[in-house]
Chains A and B, each alone.
Chain A
Amino acid sequence: MSDRVFVAMSGGVDSALAAALLCERGEEVVGVWMRLTPGGTSSDAPRCCGTDEAGEDARRAAAHLGIPFYALDYAEVFGREVVDRFVRSYAAGETPNPCVACNGYVKFEALLGDVTRKFGASRLATGHYARVATDPSGRRRLLRARDANKDQSYALYMLGQRELASLELPIGELADKGETRTLAARFGLPNAAKAESMDICFIGGDYREFVRERAPEAFVAGPIERADGRVIGAHAGVGGLTVGQRAGVGVATGERLYVLRLEPERGVAVVGRKDEIAARTYALRDVSFTADTPPGPIFPADAVLRYRGTPLAAEVRMSMDRSTAVLQLAAAALVAPGQAAVLYRDDEVIGGGVVDRALAD
C-alpha cells in the first residue's frame, strides 16, 4: 500500500485548498473528481460538483498544483443512493438530506473504498470543514471545524473508525473564512473566487418539480387537517411538503400555521400553531457511532437536527440491535423525518442517525 493521499476535488476552492495544503506538507497527492451526473446533463444543475463544468474547474486546480488528476465516474451510485433516495424520501413524506447520503454512500463508501482497495492508497482527503483527532490510544475522534461558522461535521456523522483512520481534512484546522481566502490567494488557486454551493446540487430549479416528475403518486391532492382532525383546506400532494414549513392556510383566522406532520398513507398534512408542537421523542434509524459503538445503552448528548442547527440537550436510548435508538429532547421541537440527528459532546461528533418518526411521549 502506498502512502499517497487522494484528494476528492469538487471544482470548488475548499477541496482545491485541501490539495494545496497537502502538497505543501510534502505529501504525494493525487486529485480525483467524481462525475455524479451522466455527461451532457450539466446545464440542468449549474451548481453541481459532479457536472462537466465542475470537473474542468477541478482539473485546472490540479494542473495548477502539478498533481496527477483523474475524473472517475460515480454517476450510477450517486443516482441510486442519493437521487433515488431523495425522491423516495419526499414521496414518503420525509425531508431527506442528500448531502449526508452523498457523503455516506458515495464519498466515504464508494470513493474511499476504491482509493484504498483499487488504487492501493491509504488515505483520502476532502475539503470538508471538520477535524479528525487521534487519541493516545489510537482512537480517531471527529471534531467540529475550528471555524464554527463553516463547520460541516454534521454531514460527516456516519463515519466510523475505519473511515476516520483513512481520512484527512486539511482545511478543518483553518481559523476562519479569511484564512481560507488568504491561503487560496497565496496558492494562486484558479477557483479562489468561485461562489459556494448551497442548494441541492443535482437540481437546477424547484425540487418539487424534480420529485413530481419522478414520483407523481406523491402529488395527489389531499386534505389539510388540524390536530383534532378538522379539515381546513387542501394540499397538492405530500411530496411537495416539508414538516416545519409555513402552511398556506389559516389566513382567514389570522393564525400562523405550520406543517406538524405528514401522513402519506392517508394523504393528509396535519398543521398547527407553534404552541401545538409537543413532540420531544423521536425514533432514529440507521444509527452509527464514530467510535463504532455507542457510549452506553442510555447516554446524554447534544442533538443537532438540521445542517447548522442549534444543539439541543437530549438523551439517547439505544435499542438492542444498536441500529435504532430513541432520541428524547429536553424540550419539544419540530423535526422533519428524514433529517439527520447528529449527536455531539462539546465539539466532538459521537454519532447520529436518521429521524424516522415522532413518538408519543
Chain B
Amino acid sequence: MRRVYLDHAATTPVDPEVAEFMAQVLTEVPGNPSSIYAEGRQARALVDRSREEVAAAIGAEPAEIVFTSGGTEADNLALRGVLKAREGEADGIVTTAIEHHAVLDTAHDLEAHGQARVTVLAVDRDGRVSPDAVRAAIDDRTALVSVMHGNNEIGTLQPIAAIGTLCREAGVTFHSDAVQTVGALEIDVRVLPVDLLSVNAHKFYGPKGVGALYVRTGTRIATVQTGGGQEKGRRTGTENVAGVVGLGAAMRIAVARRAAESARQGVLRDRLIAGIASRIPDATLTGHPIERLPNNASFCFRGTQGEALVVSLDLEGFSVSSGSACTSGSTDPSHVLLALGLERDLAQGSLRLTIGRDTTTADIDRLLDALPPIVARLRTASGAAVPA
C-alpha cells in the first residue's frame, strides 16, 4: 500500500536534485572553507554560491545571510543576539502567544534569567495578531518584536508588513520566523520591512540540520557562540558545507516552482477543507479561513484525541500530525490552539494535514474516505455526543 504523506509542515523529502548535489559535495569536496589552499577555496566557493542563492531568493545581499543549524538556532540567534547587543539600553521583547517554541521558550528563558522583559500578545479566534496591539506593546525600552510569518500548526499568516512598518517607525528591530512560508510565499526584504528572518532548509525539500538567519545590514546583533569566527563572527563554527549547499539548491528550486506549486497546493487544500467540512459533522477548521498557508488544513474534531487520530491514520497508511511535530508525544493541547480560545476538550482533538509537491488529488480523496470513519469511531469510544 502506497503511503500518503500529509505532514509537510513537519518536514519535506529532500529534492532528488538537492540530494544528488549534496552527495557530490560530500564525496568530492573535502576542504574546510576557512583553509587557504585549493580544497579550502573550492569549499568556500560552494558556500559563497549558496549564500548568493539564499540571498537572491528573498531579495537580500549575500552578506546579510548567516547560516545556522536550522530554524531553532536562527530564532535563538535573533532573540539572544539582539538582546545581547542591546544590553543595558533595551530589554523588551514583544511576541505572540502562537509563536513556535523556538521563539517563545527562548524569550521566556531570557526573562527567567533577568535578561529580558517579555510581552506575549494574544491572537484572535483565527490566530491573527493585531498590528495595533503590537504598537501598544512597544515602549522606549523595547529591543525586539518577533512575530512569525505563517503558523506551523494552524497555517494562519500574520500581517508582518504592517507590523514591520510600525516597528520601523518606532525604531524597534523586527524578527519574523518565516520557516513555514519562505518556500511557499514570495518574500522580498527590499519591500518587506523585516530586519531578521528565520529560514529552515528541510521545510522546502532541503536537508535537515541547516537553516539561515537573514540579518538586515545595520541591525545590531551580537554573537551567541564563540569560536573561530566563521560567518563574520555571527555564527562561529566550521560551515556545514554539504548542508549549506543543499539549502541553497533547495531554495533556488523552491523559488522557481513556488508560484505554480503554491497555487496547485491551494486547490488541494481547499478540496481537503471542503471535503472534511461536508463529510464530518462538527468539524472545526482552525486558523484563518483565507489568510493561511496554501498547504495547511487543520481541524479539531470534538470528542476525539489528536494522538488517537494520528495513530489510527498511520495504521491506515497516512502520515499526519496533531499540531506540531515537536510536541507530538505529549497529550496536552497545543499552546497555539489554546491561544485561539478553543476549550481544552476541543483542542485535544486536533489534526493537521499539510500538503506537498508530491500530493495528488487522489491522495486527498483517499484521506477524505479514510478520515470520517476514524473520527466516528473515536467519538463513539469517548461517548461524545455529536450532532449528526
Hey, which bits of chain A sit against chain B, CB under 8 A? 2, 4, 30, 39, 68, 70-73, 113-114, 117-120
Contacts and interface: CB of A to CB of B under 8 A. Distances in A.
Contact of A68 (B305, B315, B377, B382): B315
Contacts of B378: 118
A117 B315 contact: no
Given A2-B315, A117-B380, A118-B312, 14 more contacts: A39-B330, A68-B314, A70-B307, A73-B307, A73-B330, A114-B381, A117-B381, A118-B305, A118-B308, A118-B377, A119-B311, A119-B315, A120-B312, A120-B377
Nearest to A70: B311
Contacts of B307: 70, 72-73
Q: Shortest 9 CB-CB distances between A and B: which pairs? A: A117-B381, A73-B331, A118-B381, A118-B308, A70-B311, A118-B378, A71-B329, A119-B312, A120-B377
Given A39-B330, A73-B330, A4 B315 contact: yes
Nearest to A74: B331
A71 B310 CA distance: 12
B306 to A, nearest CB: 11
A2 B330 CA distance: 26
Contacts of A114: 308, 381
A120 B308 CA distance: 11
Interface string B294-315: 0000000000010110011011
Contacts of A118: 305, 308, 312, 377-378, 381-382
Contacts of A73: 307, 329-331
A4 B314 CA distance: 13
Nearest to A120: B377
A30 to B, nearest CB: 7
Interface of B: 305, 307-308, 311-312, 314-315, 329-331, 377-378, 380-382
A113 B381 CA distance: 8
Contact of A117 (B314, B330, B331, B377): B377
A68 B316 CA distance: 12
A260 B305 CA distance: 48
Contact of B315 (A30, A39, A113): A30
9 contacts: A68-B314, A68-B315, A72-B311, A114-B381, A118-B305, A118-B377, A118-B378, A119-B315, A120-B312
A194 to B, nearest CB: 23
Contact of B308 (A30, A68, A119): A119
Contacts of B308: 114, 118-119
Contacts of B380: 117
Contacts of B330: 39, 73
Nearest to B332: A73
A39 B332 CA distance: 11
B231 to A, nearest CB: 34
B321 to A, nearest CB: 13
Contacts of A4: 315
Nearest to B310: A70
Contacts of B311: 70, 72, 119
Nearest to B305: A118
Contacts of B312: 118-120
Contacts of B381: 113-114, 117-118
Nearest to A76: B331
A120 B314 CA distance: 13
B308 to A, nearest CB: 5
A41 to B, nearest CB: 13
Question: Which among B305, B311, B378 has the highest number of chain A CB atoms within 10 Å?
Answer: B311
A72 B314 CA distance: 14
A303 to B, nearest CB: 37
A54 B378 CA distance: 28
